[in-house]
Amino acid sequence: MVDMKSTYILGMNLKLFFAGLIFIFFGMQDVFSQTSYPWPANVKAIAARCNLNQMGKNTFVFDAAMDMKELQILIDSLHALQTATSSEFSKNRFALLFKPGVYKLDIKVGYYMHVMGLGNSPEDVVIVGSVSSISIRNAVRTGHVLTNFWRAVENLTIIPTNDSTNVWAVSQAAPLRRVHVKGNLKLFDGASSGGFMANCKIDGTIFSGSQQQWFTRNSNFKNWDGGVWNMMYLGVTNAPKENWPDKPITTLSATPEIREKPYWVYSDNQFYLNMPATKKNSIGIDWDKINSKEKRISINDFYVTDPNIDDAESINKALRQGKHILFTPGIYVLKESLKITRTGTVMTGIGMATLVPENGNMAIDISDVNNVTVAGLLFDASITPTKLIMQVGEPGSKKKHLPAPTYLYDLFFRVGGEHETNIAQCLLINSSNVFIDHAWLWRADHGTDVGWTKNRAINGLVVNGDNVTVYGLFNEHFQEYQTIWNGDKGRVYFYQSEMPYDPPSDDAWKHGSINGYASYKVAEQVKTHQAWGIGVYGFFHTPLIVDQAIETPTVVEKGFYHKVLLLLGWNKETTSLIKSIINGKGGGVDSLVRKRVME
């Protein structure tokens, strides 16, 4: 009898072996072929030496015994490639993985760069120098970080050598997780617009400066300095005290329930994915003590994808055969939906791996099953009209999923910026007991073919399931409601949303007798809903009238805590007007009164 599992693993290893040979001979030319930079031979040689691993063509694995000068050359070359004028919508994707040890490096993190330590604790990988994201000051970018998107740092320690301060100046889709800074952390470098940090320890002060909003969960720091519109702290040690509305701060002492994002480790010459256990009413970091409840999954239990080889057919075949999925850095064009039907399936990406549904299909379709994990993926809407990009649970799903809920981490949806698009919704949650830990859903407000009739998208997030919780929801520029919540007992901890910039007129954005669309809508049948730290902003190219920022049944109005409404721009001749924060209450904003706050 044929051992199908052994045959499958052998086939997979042969695939990786031959893919590695192909990469050594041709890969670096492919990586750098999208730029006209005169890459010297020594950079290609260094890159090839750091690429001999199972984690993908554009993944570089570093060892502390390597020559630091060579590593610095490679890292600087990658950063230069990812900060060129066209880098914001580049096709390059990179992961930089560090085995346990001490490194003396200045790591600049650009677009689609994912920096990860491979230790069981962040203390196992120490960077002496910096791991930074900064503004790009040139003729095109004028010293702001409003578009410093799509980058990440995880699971390492930084000892800053520049005035004891590490700079992580970003806006959306740029998470910090499991990071220890032995010094200060600066979150701005010019104008900045929001971010996410979880399970981090900062020995000194965090300077938020121009950060308009920021969400921090389960972290420790000595002090926090600053705050503009909406700063939220959940389960954070030494968090600033609330004094709303005089200060833009929302502080909740403990996180009610969370399972931290899985993280990769390198141990005994093997890659593993560590799966943290669920914790309830948690405060601060969890990596400062041994957690015997963590599970470990070998890379041999994953199907490791190759963007030059794999498609929906090969990935679905692996799913049917019981494999977890690791998306290595690259762009995956999918002619059919990836179907997750098995309880306990893990689908994770590194290096901002990007899924593009090509034929009007979804990118990911998850059945109404227990304990699915999806993490670290960017979704790009294609030119072909698409109803939905990702679904969790079939329509009408009724099962309860406690004590084994589904978790979604660091999922970023993009509609437009590179080409015309036409979709209905990005993410639909039909299952109950789903947790989302950081998501950015973005209808592009800049880029190529961006406009009211060019990158069309109705809603960002729709929730039909009960008991769905979101930690850190960023949802912007969709053409109707940004968020629709139809399920009962939903909870949102921190909400950042800009209404669309580009409705052409009041009539074009009116529905029935209602002027404009609220950002956040809770359906009439909902009996219980809670949300904390809610920021809704308007910036309109054409003068508009909008009735309310939040639309809910009266019975759940009091479940919204700490709301802020701002008008960011207006026409001097005929001003825009947002009439109220919630259901006609809380006051409106116009060119004279640009900000309103409400308990």
Model pLDDT for residues 490-529, shown as the tens digit of each residue: 999 999 999 999 999 999 999 999 999 999 999 999 999 9
Give the pLDDT confidence score for residue 2 in this predicted structure.
33
Domain ranges of the chain: 4-273, 301-598
Give the pLDDT confidence score for residue 536 in this predicted structure.
98
**DSSP conformation class of 165:** E
Architecture in CATH for domain 301-598: 3 Solenoid (2.160)
Other C-beta atoms within 10 Å of 382: how many?
Answer: 22
Which amino acid belongs to residue 173? A
Mean pLDDT within 250-262: 98
Angle CA 229–233–236, to nearest 5: 155
Buried b (16+ CB within 10 A) or exposed e, 103-134: bebbbbbbbbbbbbbbbbbbbbbbbbbbbbbb
CA distance linking residue 318 with residue 17, whole number of Å: 18
Query: 394 catalytic, yes or no?
Result: no
Q: What percent of the chain has pLDDT over 90?
A: 86
Give the pLDDT confidence score for residue 153 in this predicted structure.
98
Residue-averaged pLDDT of the chain: 92
Across 24-28, 292-296, 363-367, the highest mean pLDDT is recorded for: 363-367
Other C-beta atoms within 10 Å of 85: how many?
Answer: 10
Which of 584, 368, 582, 365 lies closest to 495, judged by CA?
A: 582
DSSP, collapsed to helix, strand or coil, labels residue 56 as coil
CA distance linking residue 552 with residue 481, whole number of Å: 12
Mean pLDDT within 247-260: 98
Catalytic residue, from 88, 476, 480, 498: name it. 498
Give the pLDDT confidence score for residue 571 in this predicted structure.
54
For 31-44, write each residue's pLDDT tens digit. Answer: 443 333 457 899 99
Query: Using 50, 70 and 90 to split pLDDT, how confident is the model at 293?
Result: confident
DSSP, collapsed to helix, strand or coil, labels residue 292 as coil
Q: What percent of the chain has pLDDT over 70?
A: 91
For 573-587, write each residue's pLDDT tens digit. Answer: 557 899 999 999 999
Give the pLDDT confidence score for residue 227 in this predicted structure.
94
Give the pLDDT confidence score for residue 290 in this predicted structure.
80
Give the pLDDT confidence score for residue 4 in this predicted structure.
33
Give the pLDDT confidence score for residue 37 in this predicted structure.
43
Give the pLDDT confidence score for residue 291 in this predicted structure.
76
Give the pLDDT confidence score for residue 591 in this predicted structure.
86
Burial of residue 257, with CB atoms counted within 10 A of its CB: 0-12 exposed, 13-18 middle, 19 or more buried: middle
The secondary element (H helix, E strand) that includes residue 28 is: helix 28-32
Under 8 Å CB-to-CB from 69, ≥6 apart: which residues?
none
Query: Using 50, 70 and 90 to split pLDDT, how confident is the model at 136?
Result: confident
Give the pLDDT confidence score for residue 292 in this predicted structure.
77
> Is residue 3 over pLDDT 50?
no
Give the pLDDT confidence score for residue 29 in this predicted structure.
41
Under 8 Å CB-to-CB from 400, ≥6 apart: which residues?
432, 433
Mean pLDDT within 42-55: 90
> Is residue 326 over pLDDT 60?
yes
209 and 227 in contact (C-beta within 8 Å)?
A: no
Give the pLDDT confidence score for residue 141 in this predicted structure.
58
Output the furthest CA–CA distance in the chain (Å, rounded). Answer: 81
Give the pLDDT confidence score for residue 572 in this predicted structure.
57
Which of 213, 276, 303, 563 lies closest to 409, judged by CA?
A: 276
Other C-beta atoms within 10 Å of 292: how many?
Answer: 6
> Is residue 71 over pLDDT 50?
yes
pTM: 0.93
Could you give the count of Cα atoms lying within 13 Å of 382 in the half-sphere of its Cβ?
A: 22
For 332-359, write each residue's pLDDT tens digit. Answer: 999 999 999 999 999 999 999 999 999 9
> Is residue 160 over pLDDT 70?
yes
Question: Distances in Å between the alpha carbon of 347 and those of 41, 265, 289, 408, 415?
Answer: 36, 16, 27, 10, 22
For 451-477, write each residue's pLDDT tens digit. Answer: 999 999 999 999 999 999 999 999 999
Angle between helices 68-81 and 41-49 (to 10 degrees): 110
Under 8 Å CB-to-CB from 86, ≥6 apart: which residues?
none
For 118-133, write each residue's pLDDT tens digit. Answer: 999 999 999 999 999 9
Beta strands in 358-430 (DSSP E): 364-366, 373-380, 386-392, 406-415, 421-429
Alpha helices in 182-341 (DSSP H): 312-320
Which of 110, 115, 188, 176 lies closest to 149, judged by CA?
A: 110
Query: Using 50, 70 and 90 to split pLDDT, how confident is the model at 1?
Result: very low
Q: Do the bridges between strand 295-298 and strand 270-275 make them parallel or antiparallel, or are there none, so unpaired?
A: antiparallel
> Is residue 192 over pLDDT 70?
yes
Question: Distances in Å between the alpha carbon of 387 and those of 22, 38, 391, 457?
Answer: 38, 43, 11, 9
560 and 528 in contact (C-beta within 8 Å)?
A: no
* Beta-ladder partners of 255: 282
Query: Using 50, 70 and 90 to split pLDDT, how confident is the model at 570?
Result: low
